[in-house]
A and B are shown apart, each in its own frame.
Chain A
Amino acid sequence: MDIGIPLFPEQASDLARDVDMLFFFLIAVSMFFVFLIGALLIYFIVKFRRRSNADRPDATRSHAGLEIAWTVIPLILTMIMFVWGAVLFFKQSRPPSDAMEILVVGKQWMWKIQHPTGHTEINELHVPLGQPVKLNMTSEDVIHSFYVPAFRVKMDVLPGRYTTAWFTPNRTGRFHLFCAEYCGTEHSKMVGSVNVLTPVEYERWLAGEVGDTPADTPVEAGRRLFTQLGCATCHHPDAGALGPDLAGVFGSEVTLADGRTVVADEDYLRQSILDPRATLVDGYEPIMPTFRGLVNEQQLMQLISYIKSLGDAGETGEGM
């Protein structure tokens, strides 16, 4: 049935189906209560209108049983919604470990995207069908929000920290990408599209038959930066190195000089590059200078990608 008015958004990810199931449950509960209240209102208004001679014995002032019933029943229903919503939310928040990682930088008013292969795109994102995709995102200026309605995925993109979102596309096609957090004058033009291609088409696209030619992969660009910036002079695996060896560091637990133990995730690596002394690793001297201002957000992400790639070289199975 096509009446020319869209009523329901496309489902293009596994998550979308799950979210919609929950949505239909809430719709059902809501409809039940709207019709219940509506029917009762109309019935009472007709039956007990002032001119009617309906039976009106001394009306009850309150009724403990009723009050308890209409407190407890909604409470139970809402708790079902809560648990269901929370379980699904946890799934939405935890990307699978085999996800392909794509870097996203938001700035007024465009999305800059880089693939693991090095392809960069602006306001376009090409992804292969059926492949879990994890987005590592940050902003160069104000707060943005990465939103793909067809995947039911949204996550704010903030300056000064990393956020992630993930999805597994299960339909090919072209879907809207919106900035959902108001970010200034051309907020409504900070839009683009996500193109879900079959794996074959995706390979073709990567090969340059469609789209632009690839630059370095983030890992390669990161490796080059790592050398250019002189990181390797201290961070190497030999004994007597001035800085900790970075192989396998990503995802591992690190003991800091102040006694804290932290997991070396993206945010930790980012902070270590920008503000090394705040996260000094136990056993090392605070000699590393800050790289704030020397590397931009995209280069930071490339460096981190490179460090993450070292995980596999070091201890297999440790890296995520």
Chain B
Amino acid sequence: MESGDTKRKHYLNIENTPQSWLLTLDHKRIGILYLVTILLFFFLGGVAAVLFRLELLTPDAHLVEHETYNRLFTMHGVTMIFFFLIPSIPAVLGNFLLPIMIGARDMAFPRINLASWYVFTAGGLFGLAAIVFGGVDTGWTFYTPYSSTYANSNVILAALGIFIAGFASIMTGLNFIVTIHKMRAPGLTWFRLPLFIWGQYATAIIMILGTPVIAITVLLVGIERLFGVGIFDPAIGGDPLLFQHLFWFYSHPAVYIMILPGMGVISEVIACFSRKRIFGYHVVAFSSLAIAILGFFVWGHHMFVSSQSMYAGMIFSILSFLVAIPSAIKVFNWTATLYKGSISLDTPMLYALGFIGLFTIGGLTGLFLATMAINIHVHDTYFVVAHFHYVMVGGMLMAFLGGIHFWWPKMFGRMYPEAWGRFAAIVIFVGFNLTFFPQFILGYLGMPRRYHVYPEEFQVLNVMSTAGASILGAGYLMVFVYLVWSLFKGRRSVSNPWCAAGLEWRVSSPPPQHNFKKAPVVDRDAYDYTDEDVYKSDYDSGGTSDG
């Protein structure tokens, strides 16, 4: 086997000095840098979650004080959203795969790509500093006037961190759009693109048009605190609701940054492990764009009880229902793809199936929140918490893990242990449901979110949730351990271990430094599993070393 030859030069072993990593312009290495960085933040956010879940075992404060509790859930929200989920699939898998999948040698702007990682890391350091110097207690939503005037914590540092990290997001989005438009291989027309690319494209639109709005918004909060220049200060006539409008104008679309790339991954995995083209390819592709565009016009559904006008509420409600339709269409199409497929339940497929189930629940509970009369009752309760964890963790994180397993052999040239993989996937699925399903009930019972102490009747459900969280944590830990183990001891992978269609499987594993010696010519649709070529495991087309 060619790929078993340790002498072969690829992107990982071509040079291994610190500066060859820190100054690399190779999109694959930048993807790996991002992977390492966001794992650190995932760990931090996870530790915070473990601590406050433990605290919530009992109705009274027994582990931490109010101040600490508030800092913990803020730290969890800020790190998980801004420093883990938003960059997770785009910046790691997107950076690594996007150029290869479209037959390009790199992103359109490799320097901007590297800069985005530095900017992200710098933003992350501000976030870390905010935590180290005592934390932030505003919640990840930074509502004014609490954040701008009343909070006595490191709001400025955290706001700056988010502001800076936002530019990393913009740079990544910009790179993706230009690369997809201008760098596709000959013959790779728009409707031959893998759906992963469509997902990244839709995400990039949101990154470019949404992120600057949150950037200016948190900057204004920072300026208000730092220089006393009040924009949201009610004392001089400022309107705290303006902040909410600006904040959700980004942060609702940002929810789609945290799901669209995941949907892309799921399309790839389902096609490969049922050996079929995704049912209704065009519809699935366009539904991503529909979500990205409609997603900009539904922010007001976060403000039904904020004293927003009833009529504005109605418009936001109906638009929120509309944005649910493309998501439903995707779920139906994925399910239909399995029909008459040839299905194997490898680890990535287990994650993909888990994704469909959990995302369906997350999406359907979104309808409850879009229904104004019910929203009044469940707004700012655990129902909302459960809903967005079903979408972001049950959806995006499952997709991220599925994608990591699917492309692990491509990224590192080693296979992860399959049995452990399946076991961990099931543990995570069970742990997840045990953690978050009780929270739907808690929410409808009326337990408000961000509560440190709570009435006694909520305890049993909280204990279940905490028990689930420990199982979930154990599952993640398991994945982490065997993946690291496999880096050194895993079986070496061939170029195309899954017999998958797609250009990324035509280059060797790990890919050579410049991906393709010669731009590949594409003459067929995506997911063409009727083609016999796909089943040949090694057929590098000029994918060997090009120095």
Contacts and interface: CB of A to CB of B under 8 A. Distances in A.
Q: Do chains A and B touch in the complex (CB under 8 A)?
A: yes
Interface of A: 4-9, 18-19, 22-23, 26, 29-30, 33-34, 37-38, 40-41, 44-45, 48-50, 54-63, 66-67, 70-71, 74-75, 78-79, 81-82, 84-86, 88-90, 92-93, 108, 141-143, 145, 147, 149-150, 152-156, 158-161, 163, 176, 178-189
Given A37-B335, A37-B360, A78 B321 contact: yes
B318 interface: yes
Interface stretch (B19-27, B209-217, B309-317, B511-519): B309-317
B120 to A, nearest CB: 27
A67 B330 CA distance: 10
B339 interface: yes
A137 to B, nearest CB: 10
A89 B328 contact: no
24 contacts: A7-B445, A9-B445, A23-B368, A33-B364, A37-B335, A48-B274, A56-B342, A58-B530, A60-B279, A61-B279, A62-B281, A67-B280, A70-B329, A78-B370, A81-B371, A82-B370, A92-B373, A142-B143, A155-B307, A155-B376, A159-B145, A180-B380, A182-B141, A182-B380
A60 B341 CA distance: 11
A97 B302 CA distance: 29
B332 interface: yes
A143 B368 contact: no
B6 interface: no
Interface in B145-169: 145-146, 149-151
B473 interface: no
B283 A67 contact: yes
Contacts of A86: 314, 317, 372-373
B361 A62 contact: no
B538 interface: no
Contacts of A81: 321, 367, 370-371
Interface in B308-359: 310, 313-314, 317-318, 321-322, 324-325, 328-329, 331-333, 335-336, 338-345, 353, 356-357
Tell me which of B279, B360, B377, B441 has the highest count of chain A C-beta atoms within 10 A of its own C-beta.
Answer: B377
A78 B381 CA distance: 23
A34 B360 CA distance: 7
A187 B313 contact: no
Closest 4 CB pairs of A and B: A149-B446, A85-B371, A88-B373, A89-B372
Interface in B429-448: 441, 444-446, 448
A13 to B, nearest CB: 11
A178 B448 contact: yes
Contacts of A142: 143, 145-146, 149-150
Given A61-B279, A186-B66, A159 B336 contact: no
Nearest to B453: A188
B377 A44 contact: no
A62 B280 contact: yes
Name, among A6, A34, A50, A142, the residue most crowded by chain B CB atoms within 10 Å (CB to CB). Answer: A142
B305 interface: yes
B368 A26 contact: yes
B118 interface: no
A23 B19 CA distance: 58
B455 A176 contact: yes
B457 interface: yes
Contact of B241 (A78, A85, A147, A158): A158
B234 interface: yes
Contacts of B445: 6-9, 149
B184 interface: no
B324 A78 contact: yes
Given A156-B305, A156-B306, A187-B450, A62 B460 contact: no
Given A26-B367, A62-B279, A149-B445, A158 B377 contact: no
B452 A181 contact: no
Contact of B453 (A4, A153, A189): A189
B291 to A, nearest CB: 14
Nearest to A90: B310
A182 to B, nearest CB: 5
B67 interface: yes
A205 to B, nearest CB: 23
A64 B371 CA distance: 30
Contact of A41 (B325, B335, B371): B335
Contacts of A82: 317-318, 321, 370-371
Contacts of B143: 142-143, 181-182
A85 B280 CA distance: 32
Contacts of A90: 310
B468 to A, nearest CB: 15
Nearest to A42: B353
A188 B340 CA distance: 53
B320 to A, nearest CB: 9
Contact of A44 (B341, B364, B458): B341
Given A78-B367, A85-B371, A187-B450, A50 B325 contact: no
A18 B371 CA distance: 13
B230 interface: no
Given A89-B313, A182-B450, A74 B325 contact: yes
B310 A74 contact: no
A165 to B, nearest CB: 9
Contacts of A41: 335, 338, 353, 356-357
A70 B365 contact: no
A303 B434 CA distance: 53
A85 B317 contact: yes
A221 B451 CA distance: 36
A71 B145 contact: no
A48 B338 contact: yes
Candidate in A18, A70, A108, A145 with the most chain B CB atoms within 10 angstroms: A70
A37 B357 contact: yes
Contacts of B448: 147, 178-180, 188
A219 B441 CA distance: 43
Contacts of A70: 328-329, 332
B234 to A, nearest CB: 4
B339 A92 contact: no
B38 to A, nearest CB: 26
Contact of A145 (B305, B328, B368, B373): B305
Interface in B488-532: 530
B357 A38 contact: yes
Contacts of A66: 280, 332, 336
A67 to B, nearest CB: 5
Residue of B241, B445, B452 ringed by the most chain A CB atoms within 10 A? B445
B379 interface: yes
A30 B365 contact: yes
Contacts of A59: 276, 339-341
B542 interface: no
B245 to A, nearest CB: 14
Contacts of B379: 154, 180
Contacts of A89: 304, 310, 313-314, 317, 372-373, 376
Contact of B139 (A152, A154, A182, A186): A182
Contacts of A186: 66
Contacts of A5: 460-461
B160 to A, nearest CB: 21
B138 to A, nearest CB: 8
B46 interface: no
